[in-house]
């Protein structure tokens, strides 16, 4: 047996808006082919999950003017993959070759806009419960909601000090006695040379932290008490500037989302 333990080290997040009229086609293509063929099949991929934002969830996004989703109603679908620590290069090498095969077979989908897609390094997590769900199982747990917060370091602040401010002070205080079971922090990596042209360049390398808050209910139900003041709570604890906060709920695999809610 190997001494290499299962340990979250990296992630991929993809934030996408299908073109009007292609929402269901995109959902089926991504979950039934692309996520599996170019992600879950890859060695060292630990888990994957997808979410969506309904119109009701998009209304809650803040601030309305932001560098992540312009206008803020864009970005309906979100996907994430967990990757074993120190194995990102191995995982990505396999994906690069697989993408060539998929492209040769015409297994692409052009009727969508990619708001952001990137690889991320895991910086650590704040866990509400001493013996709760470990970060490695956060996607498999299938929490009823997730809230993403993009945070940028302040002037003169290092990425390490931003991480420490989030994990040691701000997030534990926000999570205490709340339905937020864990908040995991990631920082973006530069776009790899082989990534498709549709994937935009990655902003915020060395500057930003993405906080993924896993919630034990639909974020709509607790927005006022847990997330409405999140930017103020983070910034008041020396956590730089909050660029964007957005809630999502899980996509049910194999079930088409209700277009009337999107």
pLDDT value at 176 more than 70 = yes
pLDDT value at 48 more than 80 = yes
Q: What is the pLDDT of residues 92-140, one digit of tens each?
A: 999 999 999 999 999 999 999 999 999 999 999 999 999 999 999 999 9
Strands 112-127 and 180-188: antiparallel
Measured distance CA(212)–CA(140) in Å, rounded: 15
Measured distance CA(32)–CA(52) in Å, rounded: 16
- Burial of residue 59 (CB within 10 Å: 0-12, 13-18, 19+) is middle
**Domains of the chain, CATH where assigned:** 8-252 (3.30.70.100)
pLDDT value at 1 more than 60 = no
Percent of the chain with pLDDT over 70: 99
Backbone angles phi, psi at 189, to 5 degrees: -110, 155
Average pLDDT in the 81-101 region? 96
**What is the model's pTM?**
0.96
Length of the chain: 262
- CB-side neighbour CA atoms (13 Å) of 240: 28
Nearest to 246 by CA among 220, 209, 207, 216: 220
Percent of the chain with pLDDT over 90: 94
pLDDT value at 181 more than 70 = yes
Secondary element (H or E) of residue 174: helix 171-175
- What's residue 200's pLDDT? 86
Asked if 81 contacts 45 with a C-beta cutoff of 8 angstroms, the reply is: yes
At 49, list the tokens.
Answer: 């999950």
Summary mean pLDDT of the chain: 96
Asked if 39 contacts 48 with a C-beta cutoff of 8 angstroms, the reply is: yes
Measured distance CA(84)–CA(11) in Å, rounded: 9
- What's residue 83's pLDDT? 98
- What's residue 192's pLDDT? 86
Q: What is the pLDDT of residues 195-208, one digit of tens each?
A: 877 788 899 999 99
Average pLDDT in the 134-148 region? 98
Measured distance CA(182)–CA(10) in Å, rounded: 17
């Amino acid at each position: 047996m190997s001494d290499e333990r299962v340990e979250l080290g990296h992630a991929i997040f993809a934030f996408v808006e299908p073109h009007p009229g292609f929402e269901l086609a995109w959902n089926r293509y991504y979950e039934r082919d692309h996520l599996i063929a170019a992600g879950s099949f890859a060695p060292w991929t630990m888990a994957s999950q997808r979410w969506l934002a309904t119109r009701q969830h998009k209304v809650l996004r803040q601030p309305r003017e932001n560098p992540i989703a312009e206008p803020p109603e864009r970005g309906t679908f979100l996907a994430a993959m967990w990757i074993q620590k120190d194995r990102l290069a191995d995982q990505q090498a396999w994906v690069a070759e697989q993408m060539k095969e998929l492209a040769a077979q015409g297994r692409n989908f052009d009727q969508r806009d990619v708001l952001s897609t990137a690889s991320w390094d895991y910086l650590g997590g704040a866990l509400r419960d001493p013996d709760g769900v470990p970060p490695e199982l956060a996607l498999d747990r299938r929490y009823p909601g997730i809230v993403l917060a993009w945070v940028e370091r302040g002037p003169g602040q290092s990425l390490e000090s931003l991480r420490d401010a989030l994990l040691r002070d701000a997030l534990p205080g926000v999570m205490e006695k709340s339905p937020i079971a864990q908040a995991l922090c990631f920082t973006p990596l530069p776009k790899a040379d082989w990534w498709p042209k549709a994937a935009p360049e990655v902003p915020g390398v060395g500057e930003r932290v993405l906080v993924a808050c896993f919630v034990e209910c639909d974020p709509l139900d607790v927005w006022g008490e847990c997330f409405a003041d999140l930017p103020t709570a983070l910034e008041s604890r020396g956590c730089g500037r909050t660029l964007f906060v957005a809630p999502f709920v899980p996509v049910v695999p194999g079930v088409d989302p209700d277009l009337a809610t999107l």
